[in-house]
Amino acid sequence: MFTLIALALFVAFIAFYRSGYRSNKLPSGPGGLPFVGNIFDLTTHESWRRAVQWGKEHGDMIYIRISGTRFIFLNSPNAVNDLLHARSSIYSDRPYLQMACGLCGMGDLVPLTRYGGRLRYERRLMQNALGPSAVEKWKRIVMKESYMLLQDLSASPEAYLSHIKRMAASLIFATVYGYTIKSGDDPYVQSAEEFMEVSSYAITAGWIVDFLPFLRWIPYTNFRRTAITWRAKLHDWIERPHMMFKGLPDSAMKRTSFCGNLLMSEGESSAFSDAPLEEHVKWIATSMYGALVLNPKVQLKAQEEIDNAVGKSRLPCFEDRPRLPYVECVLKEVLRWGTPVPLTPPHRLTKRDEYRGYTFPEGTNFIANMWAILHDETMYPDPEKFSPERFEHSLDPLSHKASHDPMDYAFGFGRRRCPGIHFANQSIWFVMVSILACFDVKPAIDENGMEIMPPLIFAGGAFRHPKAFRCRITLRAEVEQDLILTSLTACSA
Ligand code: HEM
């Protein structure tokens, strides 16, 4: 065993030496440990902040390596646009991860799929089902789920986090499968949540076997045991919801769902020959459990805007959107300040490339640091401050100031850009405007009647979200309780 490890380390060293690091054609970066390189830097908590610190010394492109694997953090919009966007035909592959793809068997998940025929085909399917006009058909579901959330919030505001989680899961199941979730402890929801947690951990935890692939063959390792457990559950996570979809009675909801749209309509057949259409849909559907990040921040100014544009006799609807410019700024600021996905998964380079005097060998992995871009003080002064006003100038057609719209950055880049962007935009806007219209969200009060400002702690790995905090959610004085119920009933009819 010892000889095997020594031999493998020697091979890794040669690979690293030949990786171009010493030929001085790669950007600079923090030095690492012998052999394992920067493994502890990459797996650190909030590694995007660390990459910003490195950027102060090394510029907007930072090179790190783990064993023979090269990574370059891209901290600026220029670098990201020039490479991941403008040259996306060669910057859109993903690395093969031994843990997630090899040991756990999750390699067919869309975010992990290698660049090629299969990915292009699946992205076309998603474009058809999730494009701007396609998501129109889900507006009614978004409305119904949002009104149910308002009902839940008025009944038990203290449980706001579980209400939001239930709503997000329900929205995804209704739109992906046409399935209505009965309660928060629905077994399909639990299974989906478990899969989200496991898959994001399998992908982003920086497993040693991802960097030293020969370890895969060593028995009795912890990661092997973990992978065996997860692999055994794959059937539950992927096949079961798909079988559930097939067993649902035919209905309008089933037909307009993502799976129904692809599997029940005429004309679409698998143009990609290695698997039947159904096989693609199963994996894509599972890839869509992505979180709908809801980060409502109630502002008097936004509520005034809603009251003026919508009145108090009804709740806001999608058609009100153009008349609510300030709410639009709040949405942009939520995406910027909260940065739900701080780093893209690695974009692997498929062909040697040159840029700014550097030479990047094939196989180099590029990670766009969205957190760095969305907190860059030259673009967003005082970046830690939540201030929707910073986007107000972008509403003025005569303004010449650059708008730096967070929508251009928060969803990734090039041919791997998030396919769910239109659905996320539509549903987050609607939930946000509905909550703003109905509720005041204020800090909790202590025993002396003083407001307790909640500590702002973010959690999560690949997806960043605020940890639960105490707050008071109360129905606004102007809002009639009946209004929510009437809107829900009208929408469910
Ligand atoms: C606020 C909500 C969301 C944010 C901020 C977000 C952000 C992202 C980002 C940054 C990426 C990586 C892009 C890259 O590599 O350059 C991504 C990929 C992806 N997203 Fe989203 N997303 C959101 C919601 C959604 C929704 C609602 C869906 C499904 C309906 C979805 C489905 C996907 C899929 C399938 C991929 C993988 C694409 C690929 O690798 O080709 N996302 N998302």
Tell whether ligand 1 has an atom less than 6 A from the beta carbon of residue 413. yes
Which atom of ligand 1 lies at the shortest distance from residue 122's CA? Answer: 41
pLDDT digits (tens, 9 = 90+) for 38-97: 887 776 678 899 999 999 999 999 999 988 899 999 999 999 999 999 999 999 999 999
Cβ–Cβ under 8 Å, residues 264 and 245: no
Q: What is the pLDDT of residue 24?
A: 52
Tell whether ligand 1 has an atom less than 6 A from the beta carbon of residue 410. yes
Tell me which H or E stretch contains 13.
Answer: helix 2-17
Q: What is the pLDDT of residue 56?
A: 95
Return the sign of the alpha-carbon dihedral for residues 374, 379, 381, 387: negative
Q: What is the pLDDT of residue 22?
A: 52
- Residue of 411, 417, 458 to test ligand 1 pocket, by largest number of atoms within 8 Å of CB: 411
Q: What is the pLDDT of residue 286?
A: 54
Rounded distance from Cα 106 to ligand 1 centre (Å): 17
Q: What is the pLDDT of residue 13?
A: 58
Which atom of ligand 1 lies at the shortest distance from residue 113's CA? Answer: 40
Q: What is the pLDDT of residue 207?
A: 85
Q: How far apart are CA 268 and CA 278, in angstroms?
A: 11
The ipTM is: 0.98
Rounded distance from Cα 344 to ligand 1 centre (Å): 9
pLDDT digits (tens, 9 = 90+) for 178-198: 988 877 678 887 888 788 888
Q: What is the band of 103 on the pLDDT scale with cuts at 50, 70, 90?
A: very high
Q: What is the band of 2 on the pLDDT scale with cuts at 50, 70, 90?
A: low
Check pLDDT > 90 for residue 18: no
Tell me the whole-structure pTM to 2 decimals: 0.88
Which atom of ligand 1 lies at the shortest distance from residue 427's CA? Answer: 27
CA distances to 158, 302, 327, 374, 479 from 474, rounded to whole Å, are 10, 16, 20, 32, 10
Tell whether ligand 1 has an atom less than 6 A from the beta carbon of residue 288. yes
Tell whether ligand 1 has an atom less than 6 A from the beta carbon of residue 118. no
Tell whether ligand 1 has an atom less than 6 A from the beta carbon of residue 419. yes
Q: Ligand 1 atom 7: the closest Cα is on which residue?
A: 411
42: nearest Cα among 30, 25, 57:
30
65: nearest Cα among 112, 100, 30, 102:
30
Check pLDDT > 50 for residue 474: yes
Please enumerate, as own/partner, the contacts of 447-455 that have beta carbons within 8 Å and a separation of 24 or more. none
DSSP string, 330-361: HHHHHHHHH-SS-BPPPEE-SS-EEETTEEEP
pLDDT digits (tens, 9 = 90+) for 254-271: 888 888 888 876 554 444
Q: Ligand 1 atom 26: the closest Cα is on which residue?
A: 420
Encoded amino acid at 473, one letter: I
The pair of three-digit structure tokens given for residue 344, joined into one six-digit string: 């893209």
Q: What is the pLDDT of residue 271?
A: 47
Tell whether ligand 1 has an atom less than 6 A from the beta carbon of residue 85. no
Tell whether ligand 1 has an atom less than 6 A from the beta carbon of residue 287. yes
Average pLDDT value over all residues in the chain = 84
Q: What is the pLDDT of residue 3?
A: 61
pLDDT digits (tens, 9 = 90+) for 294-304: 334 445 688 88
Which atom of ligand 1 lies at the shortest distance from residue 424's CA? Answer: 27
Q: What is the pLDDT of residue 94?
A: 96
Chain centre distance of CA 354: 30
- Domains, the chain: 1-9+43-492 (1.10.630.10)
Q: What is the pLDDT of residue 40?
A: 78
Q: Ligand 1 atom 37: the closest Cα is on which residue?
A: 111
Burial profile 455-481: b = 16 or more Cβ within 10 angstroms, e = fewer: eeeeebbbebbeeeeebebebeeebee
Check pLDDT > 90 for residue 32: no
Tell whether ligand 1 has an atom less than 6 A from the beta carbon of residue 341. yes
Q: How far apart are CA 43 and CA 175, in angstroms?
A: 34
Tell whether ligand 1 has an atom less than 6 A from the beta carbon of residue 424. yes
Residues 205-218 have a mean pLDDT of 86
Q: What is the pLDDT of residue 9?
A: 60
Rounded distance from Cα 290 to ligand 1 centre (Å): 7
Rounded distance from Cα 124 to ligand 1 centre (Å): 15
CA distances to 52, 69, 163, 171, 232 from 166, rounded to whole Å, are 35, 40, 5, 8, 26
Q: Ligand 1 atom 17: the closest Cα is on which residue?
A: 418
354: nearest Cα among 37, 68, 83:
83
- Residue of 121, 418, 465 to test ligand 1 pocket, by largest number of atoms within 8 Å of CB: 418
Which atom of ligand 1 lies at the shortest distance from residue 413's CA? Answer: 16
Encoded amino acid at 237, one letter: W
Q: How far apart are CA 30 and CA 17, in angstroms?
A: 17
Q: Which residues 6+ apart lie within 8 Å of 63 measured at CB?
A: 21, 26, 27, 28, 29, 70, 71, 72
Q: What is the pLDDT of residue 204?
A: 79
Q: Is 418 annotated as a binding residue?
A: yes
Q: What is the pLDDT of residue 302?
A: 82
Cβ–Cβ under 8 Å, residues 178 and 465: no
